[in-house]
């Protein structure tokens, strides 16, 4: 069976790499530029799914599958920002130090006919209690840049993570189990 083309609606090189791990090479990358402001009172899981869905809709292309993802780090009901500067990254690390937080990673698929389907992965992560020198060292390394919650599990932060329950690929940005099952349910041939 020949699949319709698949477009990845993401500027994230990690999402492309993760997709490659399950043998899928997108025909094109069409990063969606959407308003990522959470709605008033919006809870993290609803927000993550809505963002993934809106990215898939924004990159819609007739006759193609469009895949999008969104990864949100949450402390209780609080949605942590994507760290774009050192001060934000530092604030996030102080908040998640020594306690559990959740990583909600949503994936949305727009099928060639226009129907939309989503899946959500939820992972619980616990960092060790971070000392001030550990926080300084992590900040100096710069791996936090552009990452939700101010860290990247795929880098040196893994040495600071005491425990994780859920999906490692989900924390990185694209939950592969959910992605595969979403594609299979929509009739994409993964053979």
Ligand X SMILES: Cc1cn([C@H]2C[C@H](O)[C@@H](COP(=O)(O)OP(=O)(O)OP(=O)(O)O)O2)c(=O)[nH]c1=O
The secondary structure of residue 24, as a DSSP letter, is -
Exactly one of 50, 53, 82, 101 binds ligand X (CB under 6 A); that residue is 82
Distance between CA atoms of residues 159 and 153, nearest Å: 9
Piece of 92-100, 133-141, 143-151, 181-189 that binds ligand X (CB under 6 A):
143-151
Give the per-residue contact string, 97-116, with ligand X (x = CB under 6 A; - = no).
------x-------------
Known catalytic membership, residue 70: yes
Distance between CA atoms of residues 73 and 22, nearest Å: 24
Cα 102 to Cα 18, 34, 80, 155, 171: the distances in Å are 20, 23, 10, 18, 9
18 binds ligand X per the rule CB under 6 A: no
151 binds ligand X per the rule CB under 6 A: yes
Give the residue from 79, 101, 77, 78 showing the smallest Cα distance to 157. 101
Catalytic residues: 70
Give residues in contact with ligand X (CB under 6 A): 10-12, 14-15, 31, 55, 69-71, 73, 82, 103, 146-149, 151-154, 171-173
């Amino acid at each position: 069976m020949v699949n319709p083309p698949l477009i990845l609606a993401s500027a994230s090189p990690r999402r492309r790499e993760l997709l490659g791990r399950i043998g899928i090479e997108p025909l094109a990358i069409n990063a969606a530029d959407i308003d990522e402001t959470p709605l008033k009172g919006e809870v993290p899981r609803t927000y993550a799914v809505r963002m993934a869905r809106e990215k898939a809709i924004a990159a819609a292309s007739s006759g193609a599958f469009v895949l999008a993802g969104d990864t949100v780090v949450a402390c209780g009901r609080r949605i942590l920002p994507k760290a774009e500067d050192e001060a934000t990254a530092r604030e996030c690390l102080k908040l998640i130090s020594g306690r559990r937080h959740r990583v909600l990673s949503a994936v949305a698929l727009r099928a060639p006919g226009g129907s939309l389907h989503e899946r959500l992965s939820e992972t619980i992560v616990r960092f060790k209690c971070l000392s001030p020198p550990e926080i300084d060292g992590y900040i100096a390394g710069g791996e936090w840049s552009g990452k939700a919650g101010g860290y990247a599990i795929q880098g040196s932060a893994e040495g600071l993570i005491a425990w994780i329950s859920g999906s490692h690929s989900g924390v990185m940005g694209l939950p592969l189990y959910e992605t595969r099952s979403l594609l299979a349910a929509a009739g994409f041939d993964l053979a």
